[in-house]
């Protein structure tokens, strides 16, 4: 079922801009991985392309120790802001300090492939980032974070951290997924032209890399977020498309 109307009390402009969790391809289950593994094999990925279920769950247990019986806040800065795939009970606009949004994660699966790699947004250290905060009800935290972990912690690209987040309704401590500098796919210094070229050409089993960028830009515009670097990247990608 779609998110209930009261969830959007603080962000009414998003009422028809958030994907229904039940229709999201990111509302994953163990069965989902059977299909992902099949597609990965067909695309030529090695058997260890993802974390094992046991390893992934171990990282969730460690990160959420002592937090499964209280409401949990989640900070979204990338695809979570239009397709969170979780059942939130409240959504707020939010700002996190000490991290910034950066297209610094190289992806060769999902939005990319070995032949057409992609760049995905991640939280990197320094600056600030505007996004959304989602509140997960305490009764839902275990089930919803299991789904969330299948999406965000499928590999070692991210590190789950809890960080203060400012919202118009007050500060909260929220879970955020920060880039792992040691993951082997961290690409922070490509420059705007190369970043735009990769995004314009990246393509994989989840679709085109540029669609990810365009969805992000559109959602931030709905929220009234000014991000000049992102707009510049958007212009560069559009220019490449028009050649």
Structure tokens at 132: 């959304």
CA distance 197 to 207: 16
Residue 107 neighbours by CB under 8 Å, 6+ apart: 117, 118, 119, 120, 185, 202, 204, 209
**Catalytic residue list contains 35:** no
Catalytic residue among 34, 152, 173, 221: 152
Helix ranges restricted to H, the chain: 30-42, 53-63, 141-152, 192-201, 209-223, 228-241
Residue 237 neighbours by CB under 8 Å, 6+ apart: 196, 199, 200, 210, 213
Cα–Cα–Cα angle for 204, 227, 186, rounded to 5 degrees: 45
User: Any idea which residues carry the catalytic annotation?
Assistant: 152
């Amino acid at each position: 079922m779609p998110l209930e109307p009261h969830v959007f009390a603080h962000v009414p402009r998003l009422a028809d801009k958030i994907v229904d969790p039940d229709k999201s391809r990111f509302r994953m289950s163990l069965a989902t991985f059977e299909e992902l593994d099949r597609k990965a094999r067909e695309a030529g990925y090695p058997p260890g392309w993802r974390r094992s279920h046991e390893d992934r769950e171990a990282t969730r247990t460690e990160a959420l120790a002592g937090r499964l019986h209280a409401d949990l806040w989640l900070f979204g800065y990338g695809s979570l802001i239009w397709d969170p795939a979780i059942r939130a009970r409240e959504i707020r606009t939010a700002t996190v300090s000490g991290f910034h949004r950066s297209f610094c994660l190289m992806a060769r699966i999902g939005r990319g492939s070995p032949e057409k790699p992609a760049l995905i947004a991640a939280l990197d250290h320094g600056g600030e980032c505007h996004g959304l905060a989602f509140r997960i009800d305490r009764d839902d935290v275990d089930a919803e974070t299991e789904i969330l972990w299948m999406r965000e912690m499928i590999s070692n690209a991210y590190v789950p951290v809890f960080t203060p987040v400012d919202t118009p309704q007050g500060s909260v401590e929220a879970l955020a997924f920060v880039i792992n500098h040691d993951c082997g796919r961290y690409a922070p210094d490509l420059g705007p032209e190369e970043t735009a070229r990769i995004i314009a050409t990246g393509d994989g089993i989840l679709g085109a890399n540029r669609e990810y960028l365009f969805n992000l830009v559109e959602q931030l515009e709905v929220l009234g977020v000014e991000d000049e670097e992102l707009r510049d990247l958007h212009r560069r990608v559009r220019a490449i498309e028009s050649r």
